Structure 1
Amino acid sequence: MPKIDHILVIRLSAMGDVAMTVPVLRVFSQTYPDVKITVLSRPFFKPFFEEIPNLDFLEADVYGEHKRFGLIKLANEARDLGIDAVADLHNVIRSKIITKYLKFKGIDTATIDKGRAEKKALIAAKGENISQLKTTHQRYADVFEKLGFPLNLENHIAPPKKRLSPKLNGLLGIEPKKLIGIAPFAAHQSKMYPLSLMAEVIRELDETDKYRIFLFGGGKKEIKLLKEMEIPFANVTNVAGKLSFEEELALISNLDLMFSMDSGNGHLAAMYGVPVITLWGVTHPFAGFVPFNQPDNNQLLSDRKEYALIPTSIYGNKFPKGYDDAMKTISPETVVQKAQELL
């Protein structure tokens, strides 16, 4: 294989999946500092990669300029940058078109094995004798190994916390308190801890007067709900809709703890080395989507004695009748106790 000096890395969406590339690319940069990386993704995700050395970003406008045949234009833009290998970390139609075109042009390529058959079997097991599948982070690392760049993800060195602007320092207040983030939403109801129970968690944490708690979310409905959640509490601030994405990332990097569902915000916190407590509903850590470098005891699972078929799907979009209530079996006391253990 010819010497590789510049790798195009493709991962177009979704936010959590793109965030999971960050620690892997950080290890790559630390292990192979002379090899350049160009990340091909959506412009919104560019801030994820700012602190990684020898890394550039190529913006993909997949709903505009690079739609359909525009993907070939995008591939040629990448080729003109001097890439000599492609790491397709997405393996969907768009990334396949780009990868196959560049392979036809003589560029080395490697594509992620998403383990679709293994994941299908995990769900088909209906909760019986299930076991841990390879993590998504390791699946990403395997793509680089195919190109001749083995990675040891245990060598990851987390970045320093981002500098806080005067605006963010104002949110933190003058009293030295531990900073907790709470991201209570997910793409599917079956992956969301009931807001009434999360409010109980917040109440117990707020009453200690030891913590500053920040609520994260997006979209008009979520922002409205978070505004209502913050009102009764002295130490709680809703930041949804108040910060730029860059400011939100800076705040997350300075947290002492993040509460998240099986969703993107947990991966955002983990890419900065922040401890993450993940609450799981009808999905399960064994599918490989645990935030980077987070231990098993940070994973709070629904009661599988009562909901024995879990995991019922990989993404939380399929479940038997009644399983959307599975997370009610995680008590607020359990959540608060885990937070206090870590803090």
Structure 2
Amino acid sequence: MPKINHILVIRLSAMGDVAMAVPVLRVFSQTYPDVKITVLSRPFFKPLFEGIPNINFLEADLKGRHKRFGIIKLANEAKDLGIDAVADLHNVIRSKIITNYLKFKDVKIATVDKGRAEKKALVSAKGGAITQLKTTHQRYAEVFGKLGFPINLKEHIAPAKKKLSPKLNALLGVENKKLIGIAPFAAHQSKMYPLALMAEVIRELDRTEKYRIFLFGGGKKELELLKKLEHPFANVLNVAGKLTFEEELTLISNLDLMFSMDSGNGHLAAIFGVPVLTLWGVTHPFAGFAPFNQPETNQLLSNREKFPLIPTSIYGNKFPSGYEEVMKTIAPETVVHKIRELTYTSS
């Protein structure tokens, strides 16, 4: 069998799923330093992979020159780079077109097993016992194993904090406070902590004068909501829309804690080794989407005794009537206590 020297890694979206590939590739790079990796993804995600040795980036312009039949052009661009294997971490129509085309060019292919049957069983438990499925990180790692490159995710070494620019240093301030990021939004309302309860959490943290809190989000509607959430508090700063993605990553890498929903910002913090506290609504961490290397105790779950059909879906897009209320079973006092525990372990 020909030796593999250059692997194309495909993961086009979404942000959290792309971010989950980062620690896997970091371990791969340190385990196999002589093997070159080219990551194929959307241009916006390129900063996620900066600083990992032997990794290059191929931009997928899916709304421009790589749209529709342009996907074959993209496959040829990858082939011209000298790749001899593909690790498809996405397993969707676009990536299948690329892998099927490259397979005819004698490129070895390995594709992620998303575990659809196990996940379907998980959301069909109807109050019965559920067990932890493979994590997405494990599923990604197995793809490289299929290509003959087994990796051990326990060997992951988190990178150093990114150097702060004068602009970011000014945001942090000179007071000796713990730095917390809060990302209150998610793709679906069923995965979001009610903003009224979130305001209670922030109010209690702000009152202590021990924290500097940064609010993360995006989109016009979210920006307006974050402005309202920021306004009453002295120690809270909304950074949404004020920083580039690179600046956000730098800020996140310097946090003492990220507090997020089942959403992308938790994954961004985890790739830097930042402790992440996540809240879960109608989804469940057993589906395998918890942030990388975070202990189970960092995941606060909605009450499954009161809402036994949890998880109602893998992504939070499906739930029965009344289940939009599940997050209210997580008390603000519980969240605040956990934040204090994770940031001041001696208290």
Decide: shared fold, TM above 0.5: yes
1:288 is aligned to: 288
Check if 1:238 corresponds to 2:238. Answer: yes
Aligned to 2:72: 72
- The answer on 1:268 being equivalent to 2:268 is yes
The residue matched to 2:127 in structure 1 has which SS?
A: coil
Aligned to 1:338: 338
Partner of 2:49: 49
Helix, strand or coil at the partner of 1:99: helix
Shift of 1:2: 1.3
Letter in 2 for 1:286: F
Query: SS of the counterpart of 1:242?
Result: coil
Instruction: Report the Cα distance in structure 1 between the residues aligned to 2:104 and 2:325, rounded to whole angstroms.
Output: 50
In 2: Cα distance, 1:97 partner to 1:153 partner: 29
Letter in structure 1 aligned against 2:142: D
CA distance in 2, matches of 1:336, 1:119: 31
Is the 1:279–1:300 Cα contact (8 Å) retained in structure 2?
yes
Aligned residue in 2 for 1:131: 131
TM-score with structure 2 setting the length: 0.98
Residue 296 (structure 2) pairs with residue 277 (structure 1): no
What residue number does 1:97 align with?
97
Q: Deviations over 1:136-189 (max 9, x none)?
A: 000000000000000100000000000111110000001111100000000100
| Alpha-carbon distance in structure 1 between the residues aligned to 2:283 and 2:243 | 30
AA paired with 1:329? T
- Any idea what the Cα deviations from partners look like across 1:73-132, whole Å, max 9, x if unmatched? 101100000101000000000000001111110011100000011101111112311111
1:165 corresponds in structure 2 to 165
CA distance in 1, matches of 2:336, 2:30: 36
Q: Secondary structure at the match of 2:20?
A: helix
Tell me the number of residue pairs that the alignment of Structure 1 and Structure 2 aligns.
343
**Does the 8 Å CA contact 1:127/1:311 hold for their aligned counterparts?**
no
Q: Paired residue for 1:210?
A: 210
**How far apart in 2 are the matches of 1:106 and 1:96?**
15
Deviations 1:262-283 (CA, angstroms, capped at 9, x unpaired): 0100000001110000000000
In 1: Cα distance, 2:67 partner to 2:148 partner: 32
Letter in 1 for 2:313: S
8 Å CA contact 1:118–1:133 kept in 2: the answer is: yes
Q: Tell me, what secondary structure is at the counterpart of 2:16?
A: helix
* Secondary structure of residue in 1 paired with 2:180: strand
C-alpha distance in structure 1 between counterparts of 2:324 and 2:51, whole Å: 39
Question: What is the Cα-based RMSD across aligned positions, in Å?
Answer: 0.6
- Secondary structure (helix, strand or coil) at the match of 1:9 reads strand
Tell me what 1:119 maps to.
119
CA distance in 2, matches of 1:306, 1:134: 26
Note the alpha carbon deviations across 1:49-94, whole angstroms, 9 max, x for none. Answer: 0010010000001121111111111011000001010000000000
Q: One-letter code of the match for 2:204?
A: E
4+ aligned runs moved over 2 Å, structure 1: none
Equivalent residue letter for 1:120: K
Is this contact kept in 2: 1:188–1:317, CA < 8 A? yes
Per-residue deviation at 1:12?
Answer: 0.2
Distance between the aligned counterparts of 1:257 and 1:162, measured in 2?
A: 15
Q: TM-score normalised to the size of structure 1?
A: 0.99
| Corresponding residue for residue 301 of structure 1 | 301
What does residue 221 of structure 2 align with?
221
1:82 aligns to 2:82 (yes or no): yes
Offset at 1:293?
0.2
SS in 2 for 1:277: strand
* C-alpha distance in structure 2 between counterparts of 1:203 and 1:49, whole Å: 36
CA distance in 2, matches of 1:27, 1:201: 36
Unmatched tracts of structure 1, length 5 or more:
none
1:13 alignment partner, SS class = coil
3-state SS of paired residue (1:243) = coil
| Per-residue CA distance 1:277-325 (angstroms, 9 max, x = gap) | 0000000010000000000000000011111110000000000101011
Q: Look up the equivalent residue of 1:335 and give its one-letter code.
A: V
The 2-side partners of 1:34 and 1:204 are apart by 51
Cα distance between partner residues in 2 of 1:280 and 1:229: 21
Q: Does residue 190 of the first structure (1) align with residue 197 of the second (2)?
A: no
Distance 2:316 2:222 in 1: 19
Matched residue SS, 2:123: helix
CA distance in 1, matches of 2:260, 2:271: 14
- 1:314 alignment counterpart: 314
Instruction: Answer with 125-134 or 269-278: which moved more.
Output: 125-134
